[in-house]
Amino acid sequence: MAGLRRGAGPDAYVVSGTLEGVDGPGRRTVRELDVRGLGPDAVGGLSALPAFGDLEDLTLERVHGVDLAPLAQTGVRGLRLLDIAELDLAVLAELKLEGLLIAEFRDCAMPATLRLSASLRGLSIFNDGPSLSGDDVRILVERIDWSLLGGLRMLDLSVGGNHELAPAVVDLGFLRHLPELVTLRMEDGVVHAGPGPSPLEPPFAGLSRKLRWVRVSAVDPEPLKAALEAFIAPPRDDGDGPQGVTVYQREAAAPAEPAWTIREFEGDDGFGVYGSLQQALGQGSEETEYKVVKRVRALIASADPALLKRLDFDPEAGGTGIYAERRQDLEGVLRILGLGR
């Protein structure tokens, strides 16, 4: 039976695997709850959530095939859906949210028109992972009724960034419904295609005049950056969040290299693979890359101790490089870990 355990912040709690046996917060004040690793076989699903009367912020991570309907009976203001699949997002229309983040999602059902609450102030939607697609982002963006979101202050759409994914091609004309927008981030994998000109190109028709931080990409960044800087509100020294304009060089979508491809380094540096072991083998965001590397080393040591001695690990928070003098050694590692081809 799972139980609530303390999370990082005050009044923050985490529950993993199942909510079975969790009737509610008990004597605790639970304002922030992370529910991790819930599948369709989890007894009771999310039905315990309405008992959490103080709940303000909810994260559902690695949740798939679960009924989200109980969310409608909670008072959550901030919702993060991370690494989700096979969920029906129609319930989002019943929540009075201020912040919503949907990231790393696939195969989710949604109504033809998704009417999010007018109280929404921040919205982030992105997909970035080896088995994910920009098409899911496109469909979600097209289904949202943007005319209801006049009070939105932060919008963040992206596809890829760490992984090469085909961009989401959407009509950015919806930006004209967002006059209060202060922060706009769309630097990765979102491309305009619609009947009218892009609001992100001069003369920026329909783009919020209140923008303070813009982060986009363009084939020719410099002229766009200059034009945007002339368009948006001048920077203020008030410490209220980031501000300014960043226009990155838009990269042509390169053909996606299979994950964990073995590459031969120049000179006599041998062979190597690089990727996020945390994303491939981790147990969610509570496990860092370094922690997963320890687990992986133990796994290799038990399978082939001699092989481990011939490997050189170079981890960082975002991924791990594994190096060896011989290609066969890396092939052996990938075989043990079940990665790559």
Partner 1 sequence: MTRTELTIRSTKNQVKPSLLAEAKPLLRSLGKLGKAVSSGVIGALVGALIGADSTSCYDQPETTRDVDALAQQAFRPASRAIRAAGRARRGRTGGPRRRLQQAQAALNKLGVDLDRFLQNHQDPKCQAYALVAEHGLEPAKKAVARSLTYLDGIDQGERDDARHKAQTISRRKRVGKVRCEEAGKLGDQLPKGAGERNYVVYWSPPPPPNSDVKYVGISRSLKRRCQAHPDERSRNLETLNLPLLTFSEAKQVEESLIAHFGPRRESRNGAPKGTNRGQLRNRIHAVSPDRPDYCPQLLAGQSLLVVSPGYLAYADAMFTRNHRCLGVGHPR
Find the binding residues for partner 1 in span 74-103 (CB under 8 A). 77-80, 82, 97-101, 103
Closest to partner 1 by CB, 201 or 287: 287
Shortest reach from residue 52's CB to partner 1, in Å: 15
Per CB under 8 A, 16 contacts partner 1: no
| Choices 62-70, 107-115, 167-175, 267-275; region in contact with partner 1 by CB under 8 A | 267-275
Residues contacting partner 1: total by CB under 8 A: 72
Tokens describing residue 80: 């993060």
Amino acid at the residue 167: P
Shortest reach from residue 203's CB to partner 1, in Å: 24
Query: Could you say which residues in the range 278-337 bind partner 1, by CB under 8 A?
Result: 278-279, 285-291, 312, 314, 316-319, 321, 323
Query: Could you say which residues in the range 42-81 bind partner 1, by CB under 8 A?
Result: 56-59, 77-80
Per CB under 8 A, 23 contacts partner 1: no
Is beta strand 5-6 parallel, antiparallel or unpaired with respect to 32-38? unpaired
CA distance 59 to 63: 10
Query: Could you say which residues in the range 144-173 bind partner 1, by CB under 8 A?
Result: 153-154, 156, 161-162, 164
| Choices 36-44, 120-128, 137-145, 203-211; region in contact with partner 1 by CB under 8 A | 120-128
Strand, coil or helix: 228: helix
Shortest reach from residue 181's CB to partner 1, in Å: 13
Structural contact between residues 29 and 6, judged by C-beta atoms closer than 8 angstroms:
no
Per CB under 8 A, 12 contacts partner 1: yes
Give the contacts of 57 (CB within 8 A, at least 6 positions apart). 31, 32, 33, 76, 77, 78, 79, 80
Burial class (CB in 10 A: 0-12, 13-18, 19+), 303: middle
Which DSSP string do the residues of 118-149 spell out, in sequence order?
TT--EEEEEE-STT--HHHHHHHHHHB-GGG-
